Structure 1
Amino acid sequence: MKLHQHIFRAFGKTSIIYFCLLLNACERGAHTWANPVSSSGRNQPPVLVDDGPHQGWQDGSFPPYQNFANYCQNPREQNTLDMIGTVFDENNWLRSMSHFSYLWYDEITDVDPTSIDTALEYFSLMRTFQLTRAGNLKDRFHFSMNTEDWDRLSSFGVSVGYGMTLKIISSRPPRKVIVAYTEPNTPATTNKARLKRGAEILAIDSVDVINTTNVEEVSILNSGLSPKILGESHEFLIKDLGALEPRKIVLQAMEITSTPVQNVGVIETHSGSVGYILFNDHISTSEQQLIDAINLFNQRQISDLVLDLRYNGGGFLDIANELAYMIAGNYSSGQIFDQLQFNEKHPVFNPLTGDRLMPTMFRSTAKGFSAIANSPLPSLNLPRLFVITGTDTCSASEAIINGLRGIDFEVIQVGDNTCGKPYGFYPMDNCGTTYFTIQFRSANAKGFGDYSDGFSPRSDLLVDTGDTLPGCRIGDDLTSALGDRGEARLAAALWYREYGTCPGVPLDQGAIKMGGGNDGYVLKPQWLGSMTALP
């Protein structure tokens, strides 16, 4: 079992996610749940059948999870600690680990480890099924992934795919699947494919994306949307933004290296220069890319920054900390960025590292993900931050907002409510699977971490559900390029910067929407919707 970095995000097997999205058969971000789904679509607590006691299991008795570590039903062969064991050893490890470290351990129904035949199914039961004040599942972030896939994605941003991130505007017929953005130098951006933001996917391998309800056809769509094998090809019928007729392209899956920081630029206005960053993932490679962007902004002497986090579901918490410092600079020096709070069994020491629990200060030096460890970070010393958000803004991204607000640094929010994930975890490896189970809450310098229903722009007076910030509720404008000053959310941020109101309506006169009424959600690996911590 390895301890990795702290993380803020969420993903299961992509094929399962796509199946859920296309058929609208389960919650967003869902996985292979063993428990039943109600008519409302919400996951329900497991229904247990008492079929008698099982040898070696005692309800309410939890041996140390280390006793069961690395005893595997199918041990890996090389360079691992795996030993021959059973699925029940793996289930026992999950049971004891969850009781020890899960934030809401006392809300887990204790399930006999020998009653469930797979570790993934057993893991799906090791969580709370209670709801937030707004009626959302408290834990929407429980997932696992293959350890090798996790290592490639978290360390290098590498995954199998085409290099396009899709946005689901509607998951029910008539469905609408749109390209949100692309990665440079990938199959999606070749001269033949030329995919750009706003293109709609109409069919995959001759199967109608918009209208099909046939399960076999949906399986074909899943295979095309989430390729598993390098080199596999699928035909897409695409309608480009503004095009009169669709066109066909063939995309071949390859290893995709994510570019988490994109469209870095400076917008000149009559009242000063404004920096813009599209920041999509808190992964290792983003550290140096963010430093480079801040250095550019210092050279250009910007007076304000628009940080676009609309598609950033999270990642490494230390990177969120570093970016917050680089924005606020001297204002944040020597101040608390966040405080990790574990379950009540661990009030003094971190249960995963053994370290005494201490507040984490704003980092003025690099952690060393992709920059030189302990090298000084540049800073902008700005007085405020404009942040573009959406329903996919989660976890580590929300930690930037919360951390800055904890030191009374002004944050203006433009876009939609964030997802509401003040929780994180240490990835836990066992037998080739990495498990992500909520282990801590992140609170700012004021002790605030209760934003499980997200942050909400204050102009949305009618439907605010989260903790409110000054700003404007603006829909995602898929008709404009990200970073284009005419794109609805960026335009609104620039307008607010100039006039202190939302475009065309004072802040106290309700909400406006631009670019459509349904914000939808993007499809990404699940850990990228998480807050991940480093030991």
Structure 2
Amino acid sequence: MTKKLKILLLNCIVLFSVTSCFDDLDDDIVYATTVEINDFVWKAMNAVYLYKPEIPDLVDDRFTTSVEYNEYLNDYASPETLFESLKYLPDTIDRFSRIYSNYNELQDILDGVSLSNGIEYNLYYVPGSDSEIFGAITLVLNNSMASDLGLVRGQIFRAVNGENLNNSNYLELLTTNDFTLNFADYDTNGTDETADDTVTLNANSVSLSKVTYTENPIHKTEVLEVNGTSIGYLMYNAFNSEYNSELNDAFAEFSAAGVTELVLDLRYNGGGSVQTAAYLGSMVTGQFTGSIYSKLFYNENLSSNDVDFLFTNSISGGGSINSLNLSRVYVLTTNRRTASASELVINSLSPYIDVIVIGENTVGKTQASQTVYDSPGLFTTEGINLGHTYAMQPLIANSTNVNDELVPTEGLTPDIDLSESPSNLGILGDINEPLLAEAIQNITAADRSFGKANKATKLKEVKQIVAPLEQDMFID
């Protein structure tokens, strides 16, 4: 809930009573019509949308009379349909702008609060089938229901609620708030080829429910001593500015341990705060304070907001940054989850230090969004229209590195191509986990020439729905 509305409700409770407060609110609020909300959508997109020049319906002189404008707004039965019609190439370029009917829920997502059962997973087709599906747990969130139940990365499930997963039912079964996972055994039959692999149900199962959960994005830190080299490992899952101090503390730990190499695990990091991404770059380095880290630019209406993010030695309101002064960093990636601010870090550090990417091609997104409200200032709740709770999270800016290079829409190509395999996911932070092991091998090897590390054939992955803001980069 926004601060303004929290204060309003609190004052009502203190001065009157809960019942009379809501009576008064109901009396004062004039609820907005669909056309009035559509008016907010169009005017806001006209003002802030990054790709406004590419959308004919958003040009300033699109309508010659107010009658023509109102007829246009009336053509759309909902704010959602109007909003979707204004997105630029939504299948390829703007896959990320979203509209929300309740800005309180949106703010919770931005703050890292969501409904979660504590697991993330990949889905694959069963070898030899184009319709049968199984899943592999890739991440168990700390202090979650799943961790309390003892679930671990690498567990395989073949069915949900006793039904084998397939093309027709997996979305319905896995998107409910409560379900039971039926586990299975994965057998490679002793070969690197996946064609002869089998997935067989066993007798184990667990019931999970989604509950309100706030994730600490610093999932795991390790200091690994390998052949006389101190290697820092950080699994970082979201650029959440609420945890800037905790992120800085992790680098204090690395500095105190004498870390000279760093593996930054962003394989499940879909993005977040632009400013936090700049802080992370400054923690990795330290020798470029005051230099341009990244550039953010807006459409012509907001061009006065264009800004350069700099390498810095301090966190605003949070003290000095703990820097490692490294000239090289290893970054672990995956093709569905490494996005936006994670890609910004790779792209922005690359002109300054060696960035060795191990994993898969990234998503391909460095556009930034910001929450837009129906208020005079658009980016603030001050004076917000209480007649509805719609808000938008449209792309409003794009980001380049110091050399004006964008992350390509097809994503960043890894230096070492290596995919996670459900038959050998390993333990995150363990020296034998395949992606981390590849980084360690490269760090300690005399010959660091890059090659294609994938040896086995890949399983065919099942497309999954991207959760709201899962791949977002936003402006605080």
Q: TM-score range by the shorter chain?
A: 0.7 to 0.9
1:93 aligns to what? 40
1:35 aligns to what? none
Secondary structure of the structure 2 residue equivalent to 1:528: coil
Unaligned runs of 5+ in 1: 4-74, 131-135, 228-232, 351-356, 368-372, 458-470
Secondary structure of the structure 1 residue equivalent to 2:285: helix
Give me the whole-angstrom Cα distance separating, in 1, the residues matched to 2:269 and 2:184: 26
Structure 1 position 122 matched with structure 2 position 82: yes
- In structure 2, give the amino acid aligned to 1:138: I
- In structure 2, give the amino acid aligned to 1:149: E
- In structure 2, give the amino acid aligned to 1:128: Y
Q: Pick from 159, 173, 181: which aligns with 1:221?
A: 173
1:360 aligns to what? 309
Q: Pick from 150, 158, 173: which aligns with 2:113?
A: 158
How far residue 513 of structure 1 moved from its aligned partner, in angstroms, is 4.4
2:63 aligns to what? none
2:264 aligns to what? 307
Structure 1 position 481 matched with structure 2 position 427: yes
Question: How do 1:70-81 and structure 2 match up within 5 A?
Answer: none
- Contact 1:204–1:236, Cα closer than 8 Å, also in 2: yes
1:428 aligns to what? 372
Which is higher, the Rg of structure 1 or of structure 2?
2
1:199 aligns to what? 155
Secondary structure of the structure 1 residue equivalent to 2:42: helix
Equivalences, count: 412
- Contact 2:160–2:181, Cα closer than 8 Å, also in 1: yes
How far residue 126 of structure 1 moved from its aligned partner, in angstroms, is 1.5
Question: How do 1:35-74 and structure 2 match up within 5 A?
Answer: none
- Contact 1:384–1:411, Cα closer than 8 Å, also in 2: yes
Question: Structure 2 vs 1, CA of residues 245 and 358 (structure 1 numbering), >3 Å: closer, same or farther?
Answer: closer
2:225 aligns to what? 268
Structure 1 position 184 matched with structure 2 position 133: no
How far residue 170 of structure 1 moved from its aligned partner, in angstroms, is 4.6
How far residue 159 of structure 1 moved from its aligned partner, in angstroms, is 1.2
How far residue 188 of structure 1 moved from its aligned partner, in angstroms, is 1.0
- Comparing both structures, which one devotes a greater share of its residues to helix? 2
- In structure 2, give the amino acid aligned to 1:221: L
1:173 aligns to what? 131
Give me the whole-angstrom Cα distance separating, in 2, the residues matched to 1:527 and 1:493: 29
| CA deviation vs aligned residue, 1:143-172 (integer Å, no higher than 9, x gap) | 2343222222322x2211211112233596
- Contact 1:278–1:308, Cα closer than 8 Å, also in 2: yes
Identity %: 24
Give me the whole-angstrom Cα distance separating, in 2, the residues matched to 1:338 and 1:220: 41
How far residue 515 of structure 1 moved from its aligned partner, in angstroms, is 8.7
- In structure 2, give the amino acid aligned to 1:168: L
- Contact 1:311–1:522, Cα closer than 8 Å, also in 2: no
1:397 aligns to what? 342
- Contact 2:427–2:433, Cα closer than 8 Å, also in 1: yes
Give me the whole-angstrom Cα distance separating, in 1, the residues matched to 2:232 and 2:25: 48
How far residue 226 of structure 1 moved from its aligned partner, in angstroms, is 4.1
2:382 aligns to what? none
How far residue 319 of structure 1 moved from its aligned partner, in angstroms, is 1.0
Secondary structure of the structure 1 residue equivalent to 2:319: coil
1:496 aligns to what? 442
1:149 aligns to what? 105
Secondary structure of the structure 1 residue equivalent to 2:262: strand
Question: Structure 2 vs 1, CA of residues 220 and 455 (structure 1 numbering), >3 Å: closer, same or farther?
Answer: closer
Mean CA deviation greater in 137-146 or 317-326: 137-146
Structure 1 position 107 matched with structure 2 position 61: no
2:469 aligns to what? 527
Structure 1 position 290 matched with structure 2 position 247: yes
- Contact 1:166–1:523, Cα closer than 8 Å, also in 2: no
- Contact 1:475–1:517, Cα closer than 8 Å, also in 2: no
Q: Pick from 327, 334, 339: which aligns with 2:295?
A: 339
- In structure 1, give the amino acid aligned to 2:409: S
| CA deviation vs aligned residue, 1:374-422 (integer Å, no higher than 9, x gap) | 411111111111101111210011111111124x221111111111102
Q: What TM-score do the two structures reach when normalised by structure 2?
A: 0.79
- Contact 1:165–1:522, Cα closer than 8 Å, also in 2: no
Give me the whole-angstrom Cα distance separating, in 2, the residues matched to 1:382 and 1:519: 36
Question: Structure 2 vs 1, CA of residues 83 and 316 (structure 1 numbering), >3 Å: closer, same or farther?
Answer: farther
Give me the whole-angstrom Cα distance separating, in 1, the residues matched to 2:421 and 2:315: 34
Give me the whole-angstrom Cα distance separating, in 1, the residues matched to 2:418 and 2:170: 32
- In structure 2, give the amino acid aligned to 1:277: L
How far residue 241 of structure 1 moved from its aligned partner, in angstroms, is 6.6
- In structure 2, give the amino acid aligned to 1:169: Y
Question: Structure 2 vs 1, CA of residues 324 and 246 (structure 1 numbering), >3 Å: closer, same or farther?
Answer: farther
Query: Which is bigger in relative contact order (C-alpha 8 A, separation at least 6)?
Result: 1
Question: Structure 2 vs 1, CA of residues 334 and 252 (structure 1 numbering), >3 Å: closer, same or farther?
Answer: same
- Contact 2:133–2:158, Cα closer than 8 Å, also in 1: no
Question: Structure 2 vs 1, CA of residues 390 and 422 (structure 1 numbering), >3 Å: closer, same or farther?
Answer: same
Question: Structure 2 vs 1, CA of residues 518 and 401 (structure 1 numbering), >3 Å: closer, same or farther?
Answer: farther
1:462 aligns to what? none
1:133 aligns to what? none
- Contact 1:421–1:452, Cα closer than 8 Å, also in 2: yes
Secondary structure of the structure 2 residue equivalent to 1:378: coil
Q: Pick from 389, 393, 400: which aligns with 1:443?
A: 400
How far residue 259 of structure 1 moved from its aligned partner, in angstroms, is 2.5
- Contact 1:476–1:519, Cα closer than 8 Å, also in 2: no
